[in-house]
Structure 1
Amino acid sequence: MTTSTSDTIETQIRAEALRLGFDACRFADASEAWPASDRLTQFVDAGRHGEMAWMAQTAERRAHPTAMWGEARSAVMLGVNYGPDADPREILAHPQLGAISAYAQGDDYHELIKKRLKTLARWMQQRFPAEVKVFVDTAPLMEKPLAERAGLGWQGRHTNLVSREFGSWLFLGAVLTTRELKPDAPSQDHCGACHACLDACPTNAFPAPYQLDARRCISYLTIELKEAIPVEFRPALGNRIYGCDDCLAVCPWNKFAQIAHEQALHAREALRAPALGELALLDEAGFRVLFAKSPVKRIGRDRFVRNVLYAIGNSGDAGLVTQVVALLDDDAPVVRGAAAWALGRLAPERFEAMRADRVSTENSAAVRGEWVITPPAHPDESRDPS
């Protein structure tokens, strides 16, 4: 894509962003008032961030884009489409298979987007001299409110960004600059009276529209929570072993979404519908090989196998008891505890026969606690753990 010298700065930046592979590019004023700060404060004060201590620690820097970088004047907001080629919820009907969130079935988007952001930032600096800084997800910048301000979409009732062109399937990145750029019109909320995303949540993680209690969210529970997942949420996990797409996938605006054209973001066959029984056998080396370049690698083998064992406990497949029993002696307490719960779900009599011996020999108090409780027999729990 070419630009002429008569094109505006914004037109030239947008053309270069699209050339680099971004699917959307719009501009926002980075120095205006920032109502998102109050929402973040309420979220943290209510403890809804759970164990994500970094959200509280960086709250002041997230309070406003200029709180982190006082010279920032404009934000170039960028989106990369990762629309899946099928409804991510289809796998939930196959309890012997593991459901991995759509965004994590391909390469790690952080690396993909950061490389392009840096390339765009260098190009901007050379063409229109000004200071620039790039941000993608892990930095203390609230990208969704900025994206809404730039007109990329609006924060829907599920708190994620919704786009008229890409539905709920946009990765976000930002380039802050000291240069004044003409802002685009902000997006308006087009959720209307729809509450499909709220109704779809398996754990009732939305206390109210536009509010999320991360402590109840399956994405938080399977990714951020380091220890055992609370017992009351385990049946609602179903076969979700990394993240949850339910609230995103049910959004009516997805009817306008496009399938991602990025080969790196396409689902790898090995991660599209992996067998739980095979995943339970993963050791550290096998985990690293399977999830090379995948965002899943960030949680490590132990936490991942913990998730797999909860899914096995929900599967109703007694044929997986052999894998469960083998993991009762795993080195990681979080794995041993999840294996005990899964055994109690799939083979209650065997669980009872082993209980006394395991309680007397187990050196982890958390794991002994798993043997003390009696897991509910599969499968007739309510999906509402409240």
Structure 2
Amino acid sequence: MLDEKTIQIVQSTAPVLKEHSTAIGKRFYKLLFEKAPDLYNVFNQTNQKRGLQQEALGYSVYAAGEHITNLDAIKPVIERISQKHRAIGIKAEQYPVVGETLLQAVKDVLGDAATDEIIEAWGKAYGYIADAFIELEQKLYEETKSQPGGWEGYRNFIVEKKVEESDEVTSFYLKPEDGKAIATYKAGQYLTIKAKVPGEKYTHIRHYSLSEAPGKDYYRISVKREDEHDSSPEGIVSNYLHKQIQTGNSLPVSAPAGDFVLQQDDLPVVFISGGIGITPLFSMLQTLLNEQTKPKITFIHSTRNSKTHAFHEDVKQLINENSDIKSLVCYDSPTEEDKASKNFDKEGYIDLDFLKSNVATKEANFYLCGSLPFMDAIIKALREWEVPSERIHYESFSPVAILGE
């Protein structure tokens, strides 16, 4: 345990680190890649260009410092990061260089304000926090490897089939190259792909949600092709998968991971997805429908229009087969054909009035997945509706840890 003086220094200076979090994050990654260029093979370079990784680092450092005496208060953040670390293969021996680099970045950004006493205190705090991560991640490694069909590191999977789900989304059906059993997973979890993209100096690692209920002898991921737009660069891996990976090709995959899973209780369930955020929620929907006792389910999906609407027909079929599902669709840019066929329920975005009008009760578990602005807006609406935080569950397809602040 940390001494009182260290705790006092860390907690009193945490707000200062928060104020300078973006600059610290940028400096940290510049230094880190200079010291250990092989880590380019691990970190998402697209998120680096967008500044998301830097922002996430700054937030995590501040949050850990603020809650240094009660890490349980940020348990969801720790669990989420640990799951990702296990998935991409972060090891205990990599933590020291990260700690050294982080302290150097703090000193470089804060200058004389980062006294030796402050740096020493944060060094002790980092060691304490790193030990918590290492212990949890070691447990995850052991559990993953020892489970039936489990493995450590990456295992080659063959693309058995590709299926277009919309103009932007393609599903990939993956079977193990060695023909052996595969590990099961919980609905909502993801696979991690290591892509060796032609022309790229480093490998690229990406997480993709499993988009089908568990229990099959294959995995299915459904990937949105990320095109270049505004200031966002083209998705290197999504375009590689869509355009270059064909049936019969092999992909290195790590075992399923993730903390975004169904809660075990009898409350009604409300799924709210935006765009490609439908993937983990569709897996959850299928899983619930396979249960003997099904809760009341409301499935709300928002996307631009029918051209970008993945799994539309699949959800319709499930509704026809199950009377316990209520499905609603929102298009913010419906086509003329959409308007003529009236194949959606609301033009525009999901808001609190829409939720109150279509969700039978706020006494439910709400599962959200979509873009950061989408989820931030939904979470704020649910909080305004006074839905307790413990019943709002979400998956973020970015490194940013906490929404709705």
Common fold, TM-score beyond 0.5? no
Relative CO higher for 1 or 2, CA cutoff 8 Å, sep ≥ 6?
1
Q: When the two structures are superposed, what TM-score results if normalisation uses the length of structure 2?
A: 0.28
- Larger strand share, 1 or 2: 2
Q: When the two structures are superposed, what TM-score results if normalisation uses the length of structure 1?
A: 0.29
